[in-house]
Amino acid sequence: MRIVILGSPGSGKGTQAALLVERLGLPHISTGALLRDAVKSGSELGLRAKSIIDKGELVSDEIVSAMLEERLGQADVAGGFILDGYPRNVAQAKSLDVMLERIGQPADEAIHIDIDPELIVARIAKRAKEEGRSDDTEETVRNRLRVYEEQTAPVADYYAERGLLTRVLGEGTIEEILQRILSILSLNPGDD
């Protein structure tokens, strides 16, 4: 099973991806983790990414795609994966589709976690207070949500047009949301 998890910042996609990894035994692929690992390893791609990051610039889609393709070519991904945090725009989604088709691993499902933006603001404000995070101000969160709507939200429409998107209500307990996702994937709590 090859799953792409989508949702706005604070929607719980990372939490749900981690639970799905545990539940389904599939590798969790996060482009942020791939970048950190590549830089740490000192690989050719990692060194290229590090020089860009050190300048305070964003790593190009080309480098991220190359790292992603390298990761998707590893043996543990043969049975599927859960992709979280990528694609971030329609161009990346199209590039990802071409790559997945080329390696014979097309996406089976794109799941978008839908949640009211005001709940996200409240959720992140609570997290910021509990964790002492000064970077999660209401203004910062609202700006991240605005950027998401402009750049990343159209990815859901792209997957909908391809017949791969299912929207899940991201409100309620973590377990309730997980059960909604498992239901979409036709997995019940007792299934393996």
pLDDT tops 70 at residue 192: no
Do both 168 and 190 map to the same domain? yes
Do both 101 and 38 map to the same domain? no
The residue ranking higher by pLDDT, 5 or 130, is: 5
Do both 109 and 167 map to the same domain? yes
Which residue bears the tokens 């080329």?
Answer: 102
Do both 108 and 60 map to the same domain? no
Do both 95 and 187 map to the same domain? yes
Tokens of 98: 């071409």
Write the pLDDT tens digit of every residue in 60-113.
888 888 889 989 999 999 999 999 989 989 999 999 999 999 999 999 999 999
CA 100 vs CA 41, 105, 110, 123: distances in Å = 25, 5, 14, 34
Write the pLDDT tens digit of every residue in 10-48.
899 989 999 999 999 999 998 878 888 888 888 888 888
The residue ranking higher by pLDDT, 171 or 61, is: 171
Tokens of 8: 């706005």
| pLDDT of res. 57 | 73
User: Where on the phi/psi map is residue 123: left (φ > 0), alpha (ψ -120 to 50), or beta?
Assistant: alpha
CA 175 vs CA 95, 172, 179, 182, 184: distances in Å = 33, 8, 6, 10, 14
pLDDT tops 90 at residue 173: yes
Buried/exposed 52-65: b ≥16 CB within 10 Å, e otherwise: eeeeeeebebebbb
Element (H, E) at 111: strand 109-114
Q: How far apart are the first and last CA of the chain?
A: 13
Do both 48 and 143 map to the same domain? no
Q: Residue 43 belongs to what domain range? A: 31-78
Do both 107 and 171 map to the same domain? yes
Query: Would you name the residues annotated as active-site residues?
Result: 13, 88, 127, 133, 144
With beta carbons less than 8 A apart as the criterion, state whether 102 and 168 touch: no
The residue ranking higher by pLDDT, 130 or 155, is: 155
Count of residues for the chain? 192
Percent of the chain with pLDDT over 90: 53
pLDDT tops 60 at residue 178: yes
The residue ranking higher by pLDDT, 60 or 156, is: 156
Helix axes 138-147, 117-131, angle to 10 degrees: 130
| pLDDT of res. 191 | 46
Tokens of 30: 């996060």
Amino acid (1-letter code) at residue 15: T
pLDDT bin (cut points 50, 70, 90) of residue 189 is: very low
Provide the number of structural domains found in the chain. 2
pLDDT tops 90 at residue 157: yes
